Amino acid sequence: MGGNSFGKMFRVTTWGESHGKALGVVIDGCPAGLPLNEDDLKVELVLRRPGRRYTTPRKEKDEPEILSGTFKGKTTGMPISVIVWNKDVVSDYYESIKETPRPGHADLAYIKKYGYEHWDYRGGGRASGRETVSRVIAGAIAKKLLSCLGVLVTGNVVSLGGEEFPFARDPQEGLRARLSPFRVIRGDEKAEEILKDVLENKDSVGGIVEVNAWNVPPGLGEPVFDKLKADLAKALMSIPAAVGFEVGYGFKLASMRGSEARDRIVSEVGEAVLEGERAGGMLGGISIGGKISVRVAFKPTSSIMIPEKTVNIKTLEEADVKIPGRHDPAIVLRAVSVAEAMTAVTLVDHALRAGLLNPVRIEWNESCERTWRLYGEYLPTSLS
Q: Which helix (H) or strand (E) holds 350?
A: helix 332-353
Residue 89: the pLDDT is: 73
CA 125 to chain centre: 19
pLDDT for 57: 67
Instruction: Centre a 10 Å sphere on the Cβ of residue 244 and count the other Cβ atoms it contains.
Output: 15
10-residue averages of pLDDT along the chain (384 residues): 91 95 97 98 90 69 95 98 88 85 94 95 90 97 98 98 98 97 96 94 95 98 97 98 98 97 93 94 97 98 89 95 77 96 98 98 98 96 56
> Domain spanning 5-377 has what CATH number?
3.60.150.10
Specify whether the CB–CB gap between 103 and 311 falls below 8 A.
Answer: no
- Are 52 and 63 contacting, i.e. CB atoms less than 8 angstroms apart? no
* Identity of the residue numbered 88: D
Rounded Cα gap, residues 210 and 174, in angstroms: 10
The whole-number pLDDT of residue 52 equals 65
| Domain boundaries of the chain, sorted by first residue | 5-377
Task: Check residue 220 and give its pLDDT.
Answer: 98
End-to-end CA distance of the chain: 41
Report how far residue 143's alpha carbon sits from residue 280's, in angstroms, rounded to the nearest whole number: 20
Q: Is the entire prediction scored with pTM above 0.75? A: yes
Residue 326: the pLDDT is 61
DSSP labels, 6-46 = E-SSSEEEEEE-TTSSEEEEEEE-PPBT-B--HHHHHHHHH
Q: Quote the pLDDT of residue 384.
A: 42
SS3 of 168-202: CCCHHHHHHHHHCCCCCCCCHHHHHHHHHHHHHCC
Rounded to a whole number of angstroms, the CA Rg of the chain reads: 21
Taking the C-alpha atoms of residue 125 and residue 120, their distance in angstroms, rounded to an integer, is 5
